[in-house]
Amino acid sequence: MATPVDPDFRARLAALNEKFAATVPLTIEKIRAALADCVAGGESPPEAALHQLHELLHGWAGSAATFGFPTLGAEARRIEQMVRGVLTTHTGWSPVPAEVEKLLAWAGRDPKASQYT
């Protein structure tokens, strides 16, 4: 195996992984707040709240796998796409809150787990 140009690469990557892990609880709370704002709108969530929820899920979807949380990223992507569908079609909201709550409960237990349950 070739020697990396930067011998501290693995240490830096581990530090970035730890930094990402430290952000998970705060992101859970932000997603929970955005979800609450959406749910307060009933069957027709406010568009601004939906955009906020989408943006937060999109952030996890795009970065989690990079920092060693592939299942978190994949599930965030799946739910982000559900929210995007609601934004696009203005339909399909009813299953989203339960899916977001399931993701948040799972991420609160072990966001690095490889099995999503």
Residue 8 lies in a domain: no
Residue 62 lies in a domain: yes
Q: What was the pLDDT predicted at 2?
A: 53
Residue 13 lies in a domain: no
- What are the C-alpha distances in Å from 47 to residues 39, 57, 88? 12, 15, 10
DSSP letter for each residue of 48-60: HHHHHHHHHHHHH
Number of domains in the chain: 1
Residue 115 lies in a domain: no
Residue 70 lies in a domain: yes
Residue 12 lies in a domain: no
Task: For residue 11, count CB atoms less than 10 angstroms from its CB and return exposed for 0-12, middle for 13-18, buried for 19 or more.
Answer: exposed
Residue 46 lies in a domain: yes
Q: What's 27's domain CATH number? A: 1.20.120
pTM beyond cutoff 0.85: yes
- Express each pLDDT in 62-79 by its tens digit: 999 999 999 999 999 999
Residue 4 lies in a domain: no
Boundaries of domain holding 74: 22-109
**Mean pLDDT for the stretch of residues 51-62:** 97
**Does 104 have pLDDT greater than 90?**
yes
- Express each pLDDT in 3-19 by its tens digit: 556 778 888 888 988 99
Most confident of 14-18, 39-43, 53-57: 53-57
